Copies of this chain bind each other. A is one copy, B any other.
């Protein structure tokens, strides 16, 4: 077994002024993890020679493989390539493959004329092996020194992803004998992290040293993940399965799914399995639930559509909510969300409907209905269940929490509707 440790260095001032959220590192870590490669550290530095060199030096002391993204663009603030040229030595040469690729991208994909700056992107230090970039103009660069591997890739997510999948991971798998690593994950909703921890305390204490339990809380849900690593795949998988079954039995009451999928994927699979369709009638969530559902490939098999009735006029005209109800009970009320479900069942002609109406903030709250007051209803033609929730704090979080809770309520409703 060859345990290799990776450090990720992301380069770019935009990461340090906070204008870009680093989603690349998380994606890379996931892919590496699936292959039994452990990410030891992630470091973000600015477009600054001294900081980049220091990061390369420091990570070289602890990692076998150093993955670098960012700073390869065609503009003057992108200095990764000249810094790597200095760091690894050599001289800049035009890589014919990269040049052909730049030309291909412009002719076939971008359909724009090229400029000198783009051609320069095909120049690389002659001390590296080029990794072709089929999705953009900046080639990747693979350097080796003192048994350590350094891979520089663009920061554009889909370009980086193409290179990792097509070139970097296959090369690492070939180079190293990777350890066996396995995860089992389940998702709970409706129970806080500390209560969950208390509930499974004895289980956790009795876990063998080879298995690690992680709590991953997120918007009213907690994901529990067991991770095992070692050398004998069959024995490890058996051990993991046994512990995972024990864990599942302990949390059945709150378990959404025993797979590593999202709430919306779990709901989608349930609908597909039952051959049922879903629609949403969204006020306060403004289309976010529909977006979560339709982010999943194949969701057109069970999702028919949504009436986003942000304005009360749309609630009455399209969902046929009684204007009198809006007058007496208000838009954020049990009566309204129940009528929204009934209206959407008819208009969208689906088996199930989720409806939401609430006050997301920061404005619009009253003493009786403060910001964070939300009514959710889920139902079918036989039955509708409504629930009031009280969230707090900020708009984005209230939207997320409402969506998660609404999807979970539908899941519970569907289980009971059998």
Which residues of chain A have a CB within 8 Å of any CB of chain B? Answer: 13-23, 25-31, 33, 38-46, 51, 55, 58, 73-77, 109-110, 112, 115, 117-118, 135, 137, 156-158, 183, 192-195, 197-198, 204, 212-218, 223, 225, 227, 280, 282, 285-291, 293-295, 297-300, 303-311, 313-314, 317-318, 347-349, 361-363, 392-397, 399
Instruction: Give A195 to B28 CA distance when docked, in angstroms.
Output: 30
* In the complex, residue of chain B having the shortest beta-carbon distance to the beta carbon of A394: B158
Q: Which residues of B contact A14 (CB under 8 A)?
A: 214, 216
Bound: A307/B286 CA distance, A: 11
| Pairwise interchain contact A311-B306, C-beta atoms closer than 8 A | no
Q: Within 8 Å CB of A43, what residues of B?
A: 41-44
Given A117-B198, A194-B74, A310-B300, does the pair A21, B22 have CB atoms closer than 8 Å? Answer: yes
User: What 10 additional pairs, Cβ within 8 angstroms, besides A73-B193, A135-B392, A317-B349?
Assistant: A18-B31, A42-B44, A280-B308, A285-B294, A286-B287, A286-B291, A288-B294, A295-B395, A304-B314, A307-B318
Contacts of A347 in B (CB 8 A): 317-318
Question: Contacts A58-B58, A295-B399 hold; do A21 and B18 have CB atoms under 8 A apart?
Answer: no
**Do A214 and B77 have beta carbons less than 8 Å apart?**
yes
- Whole-angstrom CA separation of A328 from B231 in the bound complex: 59
> Among the listed B28, B73, B156, B282, which residue makes an inter-chain contact with A18, where contact means beta carbons less than 8 Å apart?
B28
Question: Is the Cβ of A46 less than 8 Å from the Cβ of B51?
Answer: no
Some 7 contacts from A to B, beta carbons below 8 A apart, are A16-B38, A19-B26, A20-B216, A77-B214, A287-B288, A305-B318, A307-B307
Separation of A58 and B55 alpha carbons in the complex (Å): 11
Name the distance in Å between A38's Cβ and chain B's nearest Cβ.
8
Instruction: Kindly report which residue of chain B lies nearest to residue A315, judged by CB atoms.
Output: B305
Q: A26 — which chain B residues lie within 8 A by C-beta?
A: 15, 18-22
A29 contact from B16, B58, B158, B204, Cβ within 8 A = B16
* CB <8 Å contact, B303 and A294: no
- The answer to whether A76 touches B288 (Cβ under 8 A) is no
**Which B residues are in CB contact (< 8 Å) with A13?**
212, 214
A17-B29, A33-B18, A158-B393 known; A294 and B305 CB under 8 Å?
Answer: no
CA distance in complex: A299, B142 (Å): 48
